[in-house]
Copies of this chain bind each other. A is one copy, B any other.
Amino acid sequence: MSEKTTREQIVEAADALFYRQGYDHTSFADIAEAVQISRGNFYYYFKTKDEILDAVIEQRLADRRAMLARWEAETESPAERIRCYIKILITNQADIKRYGCPLGTLSSELAKLNHEAQGEAKALFTLFRTWLRRQFEELGHGAEADALALHVLAASQGVATLANAYQDDAFVRREVEGLFDWLDARLAEAKNTGKNGARPRKRQAAP
């Protein structure tokens, strides 16, 4: 277990607390208690709370970029990669049920606070949007690739919001299955059929 910088510890704790409690509702005192440092020590690393938020968003961007790179390395087809994204809803189900989507809830909160960092939060969405678009492009959906990417993003956001409200596992599973079916239909549509890696799955009725 490697030693972590105080700064890294602050960002890590802030990241978790912003996710669980929201940015506005998380105080310096909360973070200080989590990291076990004094409140005054923050000023040495971050001059304002906004700077911590920027660092947290930067961290989330880096984490997600690493995740996407891992998927690129581990998978063999664009379709499989898109399925990786959809499957986050299952993998992170426990957290999503309790706190919602880390991207969506932050974006919504910053919009209400009319916070400067709205743009940075949007960049988190855009990271996935661009990546998903590329996958759809590789599948042969040139013109509509971006629309398809946004659709997948929207679908996952909606599932996360309702999963958070209702804590319903079965609902999440159903919607993920529905998204897989939707993706299969897009694969069938695509021109270069055959090498797209349609999954060996038993289909079932929508949704």
A interface residues with partner B (beta carbon < 8 Å): 20-22, 24-25, 98-100, 104-105, 107-109, 111-114, 121-122, 125, 144, 147-148, 150-151, 153-159, 161-162, 164-166, 168, 171, 174-175, 178, 182, 185-186, 189, 205-207
- The interface residues of chain B lying within 8 Å CB-to-CB of A121 are 165
With CB as the reference atom, state the residue of chain B lying closest to A171.
B150
**Docked complex Cα distance between A154 and B99 (Å):** 16
- The interface residues of chain B lying within 8 Å CB-to-CB of A156 are 158
- The interface residues of chain B lying within 8 Å CB-to-CB of A168 are 150
Q: B107 contacts A164, CB within 8 Å?
A: yes
Q: A166 contacts B122, CB within 8 Å?
A: yes
With CB as the reference atom, state the residue of chain B lying closest to A26.
B112
- The interface residues of chain B lying within 8 Å CB-to-CB of A182 are 206-207
Q: A158 contacts B165, CB within 8 Å?
A: no
With CB as the reference atom, state the residue of chain B lying closest to A113.
B25
What are 20 sample pairs from A and B whose C-beta atoms fall under 8 A apart?
A20-B112, A22-B24, A22-B113, A24-B25, A99-B112, A100-B108, A100-B111, A100-B112, A104-B161, A107-B165, A108-B108, A111-B165, A125-B162, A125-B165, A147-B207, A151-B207, A154-B155, A155-B155, A161-B161, A182-B206
Q: Knowing that A22-B24, A25-B112 touch, tell me 12 more A-B residue pairs with CB under 8 angstroms.
A: A21-B114, A25-B113, A100-B111, A107-B164, A108-B164, A109-B109, A109-B112, A147-B207, A150-B162, A150-B171, A150-B175, A154-B159
